[in-house]
Amino acid sequence: MTRTPLRVSFAGGGTDLADFYECESGAVFSTAINKYIYVTIKRHGNVFNESIRLNYSRSEQVQTIDKIENDIARECLRFLDIEPPIYISTVADLPASTGLGGSSSFAVGLLNALHGFRGERVSAGQLAEEACHIEIDVLKQPIGKQDQYAAAFGGLNFFSFKPGGAVSVEPQRLNNGGLKSLFDCILMFWTGHQRDSSSVLTEQKANTPMKMASLLRMREHALELQKLSGNGGFDITKFGRILDESWNFKRQLSSKISTSEIDAWYRTAIESGAEVGKRCGAGGGGFLLFIVKPERQAAVCQALSCLTQVPVAPEVHGTQLCSPFVQ
C-alpha cells in the first residue's frame, strides 16, 4: 500500500511545460498537502474469473494488461513488466479532476506500489521521472512536470525546470512557525465541479509562444516566493500580493481557466474579507483557495456557505510505502 499526497501550486504553473522550459528555464513554488491517494496492490487469487481486477471510481475485470481502460494503470503495468494475476485498488481523500494534481499523484503512488510489489525501493526522483515518462511521453498528456515531483518529494518546494527536462528540487525551510502561519491563513473551498484539464492545458500549450511575457512574469512570482521564504519567516501580505498578481496572469493563459461562476465566488470572498485568492489547477472547476487573516475567516466562510470548505495542512513527506495492516 502507498500513500501519496496531493499538492497546491502557488506560483509558476505553466512554466513546467516543455514548450516553455525548453526555451526558458521554468520555476514553480508549491506544497504538498495532507490529502492523499492510496494505492493497494496484491497478487490476485487464482479462483477468480479475471486475471486483473482494478478498482477506482469504477471497476475493471480483464484478462490482459492491454484490455485495461485506465491509461495510467495500463502503462505503469507495462512499463514495469508486471505479470498478472494482479489486484489494484485506489481510493482518494478528494475527488479526481479538481486541480490538486490527482492524476500524477496516482501515477507516482502506483509506481511506488508496483516497485514495492517487486521488492524494490526507488528514489523520489526516479518515481517522479517515471511518472513524467508515462504521462507525458507515453500517454502524450499536455501537462508539465510539477505535479509528479510534488507527489514524489512532498513538502514545500521550489522546483526548477531546465532545458532538456532536468528538474532541481529545493526544499523551503520556514522558521518561526512560518509554514503554520501561512496555512492558518488558507481557506479552500470545493466548487462541486470536476473538469478534465486536458482541453485547458491543450489550449494553454498552444498559446505558450504568444504568452511568453506572462509566463516569464509567473516564473518571477515563483522566484519571489522562494526569496520570501528564504528570509526564514513568511510575510503573509507580501505572499498574498504575489499570489494575486500570479493568478491574474494565469487567467490570461487560457479562456477556460476561470468561469463567470468562479469569478463571482472570488468577488464575494474578497468583498467579505479575503486578501486574495486563486483557482487551483487548470480545469475551470475544482477548488478555490483564499488567503484570509484568521479574524476574517468566519465572514468569508459565511459568504461562501454554498460551497464546502475543506481544511488543509502541509505534508512534509512525499509518496510512502505503508503497512497494509494500518487502520
Element (DSSP H or E) covering residue 222? helix 212-230
Q: Above 60 in pLDDT, residue 267? A: yes
Q: Are 212 and 23 in contact (CB under 8 A)?
A: yes
Q: Above 60 in pLDDT, residue 326? A: no
Q: Name the CATH superfamily, with its identifier, for domain 178-309.
A: GHMP kinase, C-terminal domain (3.30.70.890)
Q: Are 116 and 139 in contact (CB under 8 A)?
A: no
Q: Are 122 and 109 in contact (CB under 8 A)?
A: no
Q: Above 70 in pLDDT, residue 323? A: no
Model-level pTM? 0.93
Q: Are 207 and 253 in contact (CB under 8 A)?
A: yes
For the chain, the structural domain boundaries read 2-172+315-321, 178-309
Looking at residue 246, the DSSP 8-state letter turns out to be: H
Q: Quote the pLDDT of residue 252.
A: 77
How would you write 55-123 as a 3-class SS string? ECCCEEEECCHHHCCCHHHHHHHHHCCCCCCEEEEEEECCCCCCCCCHHHHHHHHHHHHHHHHCCCCCC
First to last CA, the chain: 12
Provide the mean pLDDT of the chain.
91
Q: What's the rounded Cα separation, in Å, for the pair 47 and 129?
A: 37
What digits encode the pLDDT tens for the residues 129-145? Answer: 999 999 999 999 999 99
- Name which of 125, 65, 76, 80 is nearest 103 in CA terms: 76
What digits encode the pLDDT tens for the residues 135-182? Answer: 999 999 999 999 999 999 999 999 999 999 999 999 998 776 788 889
CA gyration radius, the chain: 20
Q: Cell match 517522479: residue?
A: 128
What digits encode the pLDDT tens for the residues 32-46? Answer: 999 999 999 999 998
Q: Are 270 and 277 in contact (CB under 8 A)?
A: yes
CATH 3.30.230.10 fits 2-172+315-321, yes or no: yes
126 Cα distance to chain centroid: 18
